[in-house]
Amino acid sequence: MNHLPLILKREYLNKIRNKSFIIMTFLSPLLLVGIFTLVAYLSNINNDSVRTITILDESRLFVDQFEDTGSIHYKPLNDITLAEAKKLSEESEYYGFLYIPKTQTIDELANKITFYSEDSPSLTIMGDIQDAIEEKVNTEKLQEAGIDPKKIDQLRININTNLETYAGEETSKLGSGLKLIFGGAAGYLLFMFIIIYGNMIMRSVIEEKTSRIIEVIISSVKPIKLLLGKIFGTTLAGITQFVAWLILIGVFGLVVTSVLGIDPSTVQTPQQQMMEANGSGVEQIAAEVIREVTSLPITNLIIMFILFFIGGYLLYASLYAAVGAAVDSETDTQQFMMPILLPLILAVYVGFFTVIDNPHGTVSQVFSFIPFTSPVVMLMRIPFGVPIWQQIVSVIILFATFMGMVWFAAKIYRVGILMYGKKPSYKELVKWLKY
Amino acid sequence: MEKLLVAHNVSKSFGKHTAINNISVEVPKGSVFGLLGPNGAGKTTFIRVINQITMPDTGTVILDGEPLQPHHIQYIGYLPEERGLYKSMKVGEQALYLAQLKGLSKTEAKERLKYWFNRLEIGDWWNKKIQELSKGMAQKIQFVVTVLHQPKLLIFDEPFSGFDPINANLIKDEILKLRDDGATIIFSTHRMESVEEMCDHIALINKGNKILDGKLIDIKRKYKSNTYEVGIQTAYPDVVTADLKQKFKLFPATFKSINNELQYKIQIPETHTANDLITYLIGKGELTHFVEVIPTANDIFIETVRNN
């Protein structure tokens, strides 16, 4: 008589037939794509308007210094007074007016330039203007001192240290960054999964108690099978939802791009814009990224990612199940929530601050074996090269702890039903283990 | 008589609290066994031990000749006092699930469910959700699920709570029919009139200890006090009353009657019989009423618990 598949099937079907589950499965990607579309649309509108900035340059130093960009048009004013120029700019509703007075020396300019505008100007525009002025002033100063600015450019050397391990493996700073991103992404994904579906597992463990069917169930099934069935069933439902989300986001995204003609992927981050503006070889960086990625132990990473992700998720899921086993209703769960998430937060911190600094130091090593932190820390260590035996031991510890946790939860569950209505304290939980 | 369940010196305590203390009972095969006791006496704990929800600290339980083992759960049907069903599940699906947990195959479970649903006239509930049903309707489904796998031992904890009199009667008849078909029934309740109607054997538990058990008839015999309720029509009631008072223990009694007679409960010494009393009373007037006072389960319950 094998109950596990039966329980698993019921839990799975029960979850995915739930109305709010179905609604969320469709609503979440819709909202996500909707928000991105909105942002893309809004930033497109913004980009369309060209802002005009008038310039009154009495010093005559900056005649060709300001070049129009896609969103800013510079309009030089000549042969009028400051007051007239200000009035003109204000009446014409120009975005702003830049005033550069005539001074004795260039140094004096430093504090004399003024930008007039209706509202506070945007930081990027101010940055652009200041950069342009500084560049010109610096060139002028160098020439004054008798130095050819072109010479300086020629003499400038970019230092790029090559990193190589004793074994002859080439690494780079970019590689470290990539590893950080990889570990961080794994940690973040785990975190999200646990937060979304952990609570669902807990609620499903409480279900038998609130519906009072618990004694009937517990007189037919072993608690450990019930809990395992619930954990696996809910996890499968979670994976179903996750896959549905990915597919739906793809479909909605496609619909939006083709129907509305807006491409959500055109939403650019400031860094991207900067990189493009600098023109410092996006292709070059891309090539380097690809080289770094291919130099990572890909197969090892993928296998271990899957194992640690599943193991880590199951372990935390079993913690949620234990909380569900200990309480009578959802309102009693609050006090247990924080201790569950703390080790995960700790893992991410250890990952970002210790592993990157010293991937094979004592702290990194220890935390990559502790089951509550190993899913994040070990995954971050693996790109730096970790012996296979360490990885295997860590995975075994992780899964063993999961089984231990479920056993512990089942123990609490069995005793918990005898204590209807009593709010359990930690002290009582320890006592229950002895029954 | 063959015993289906034998519990021997079963004890269980939670921390310092002793829930049941050295309980031994024998449940004969094919009987309805009443497990009685005031609130908090330990009935539910004892039932949970039989269902292997709780492990006893000491003592053994033998089911049908074998010490209790995990696979025995399929021979036991248990309707707990704290009962419910999955609210968001459909009736049929739920009944199938619970039946399969008890070891029935899906086709078998479906067939038997069809039989029971027709029998209790609840066939058209199959696709309803539990939350759409009333409490009494849900109770019927719980009853079906409890008996579906044809267990040798059925344990009902307060089976009639939540039923209206018609349905309570229906369930009572079903329980008695199950007994006639060979099942053994342990029946825990506070409702003494149903004990009178249904139980062959009883055990009385108080504060974790068994204080009384045996055949209900034997117990009643033991507890009867040679008391008779009588009515005498006489022209001289004062004289007769004084006479009786002198000879016997006399208690006032009231019963419905068309006559205007003396009504008393009379307790006679063990050495005398009912015939002796009748002979005596006939000499005093016209005997209009004569009944032996048999203690009800309720009387026995209250008396033993009080004295304990």
- Domain ranges for chain A, please list them: 50-146, 169-266+286-434
> Could you tell me which chain B residue has the CA closest to the CA of A9?
B97
Scan for tokens 């505008």, then name that residue: A117
CATH number of this structure's domain A50-146, picked from the four choices 3.30.43.10, 1.10.3720.10, 3.40.190.10, 3.40.50.300: 3.40.190.10
Quick: pLDDT tens for B113-133.
999 999 888 888 888 888 888
Instruction: Judge whether A10 is closer than 8 Å to chain B, CB to CB.
Output: yes
Instruction: Judge whether B101 is closer than 8 Å to chain A, CB to CB.
Output: yes
Angle between helices B91-101 and B106-119 (to 10 degrees): 130
Nearest to A218 among B53, B83, B146 (CB): B53
Do B84 and A431 lie within an 8 Å CB cutoff? no
Quick: pLDDT tens for B249-303.
888 888 888 888 889 999 888 888 889 889 888 888 888 999 998 888 888 888 8
Residue type for A385, please?
A: G
Residue type for B220, please?
A: K
Residue B153 bridge partners (DSSP): B76, B184
Residues 62-81 (B) with a CB less than 8 A from some CB of A = 70-71, 73-74, 76, 78-80
Decide: A58 and A100 in contact? Cβ < 8 Å. yes
User: What is the reported pLDDT for A296?
Assistant: 67
H/E run at residue A424: none
Scan for tokens 């037939």, then name that residue: A17
How many of the other CB atoms lie within 10 Å of CB of B73?
Answer: 24
Tokens of B273: 């019989």
Q: What percent of chain B has pLDDT over 70?
A: 100
Nearest to B53 among A212, A219, A431 (CB): A219
Nearest to B85 among A6, A7, A213 (CB): A213
| CA max distance for chain B | 78
Mean pLDDT of B60-86: 89
Do B101 and A3 lie within an 8 Å CB cutoff? yes
CATH fold of B225-292:
Alpha-Beta Plaits (3.30.70)
How many of the other CB atoms lie within 10 Å of CB of A19?
Answer: 8
Do A211 and B85 lie within an 8 Å CB cutoff? yes
Low-confidence ranges of chain A (pLDDT < 70): 1, 46-49, 70, 160, 162-176, 260-285, 292-296, 417-435
Instruction: Judge whether A207 is closer than 8 Å to chain B, CB to CB.
Output: yes
| Number of residues written out for chain A | 435
Nearest to B84 among A212, A220, A420 (CB): A212
Start and end residues for every CATH 3.30.70 domain found in chain B: 225-292
- State how far the Cα of B82 lies from the Cα of A425, in Å rounded to an integer: 24
**Domain B3-221, what architecture?**
3-Layer(aba) Sandwich (3.40)
List all residues 6 or more positions away from A52 whose beta carbon is below 8 Å from its beta carbon.
A72, A73, A74, A75, A92, A94, A95
* Distance (Å) from the alpha carbon of A205 to chain B's nearest alpha carbon: 12
How many of the other CB atoms lie within 10 Å of CB of A46?
Answer: 9
Instruction: Judge whether B40 is closer than 8 Å to chain A, CB to CB.
Output: no
Do A213 and B88 lie within an 8 Å CB cutoff? no
Residues 4-33 (B) with a CB less than 8 A from some CB of A = 14-15
Do B88 and A414 lie within an 8 Å CB cutoff? no
User: What is the reported pLDDT for A165?
Assistant: 65
Scan for tokens 């050819």, then name that residue: A148
φ/ψ of residue B25, rounded to 5? -140, 160
| HSE toward the beta carbon, residue A9, CA cutoff 13 A | 12
Quick: pLDDT tens for A27-54.
999 998 888 888 888 877 766 667 788 8
pTM above 0.90, yes or no: no
Quick: pLDDT tens for B132-171.
888 888 889 999 999 999 999 999 998 888 888 888 899 9
Start and end residues for every CATH 3.40.50.300 domain found in chain B: 3-221
Instruction: Judge whether A422 is closer than 8 Å to chain B, CB to CB.
Output: no
Nearest to A211 among B15, B84, B100 (CB): B84
- State how far the Cα of A208 lies from the Cα of B87, in Å rounded to an integer: 10
Instruction: Judge whether B82 is closer than 8 Å to chain A, CB to CB.
Output: yes
> Could you tell me which chain B residue has the CA closest to the CA of A5?
B101
User: What is the reported pLDDT for A227?
Assistant: 92
Banded model confidence at residue B35, pLDDT cuts 50, 70, 90: very high
What sections of A18-75 are H helices per DSSP? Answer: 19-48
How many of the other CB atoms lie within 10 Å of CB of B244?
Answer: 19
How many of the other CB atoms lie within 10 Å of CB of B286?
Answer: 12
- State how far the Cα of A90 lies from the Cα of A99, in Å rounded to an integer: 14
B113-117: long-range contacts at Cβ-Cβ below 8 A with a sequence spacing of 24 or more?
A: B113/B144, B113/B148, B116/B144, B116/B147, B116/B148, B117/B144
User: What is the reported pLDDT for B184?
Assistant: 94
Tell me how far CA of residue B11 lies from CA of A225, B39, B49, B50, B76, in angstroms. Answer: 27, 18, 10, 12, 21
Nearest to A6 among B87, B88, B100 (CB): B100
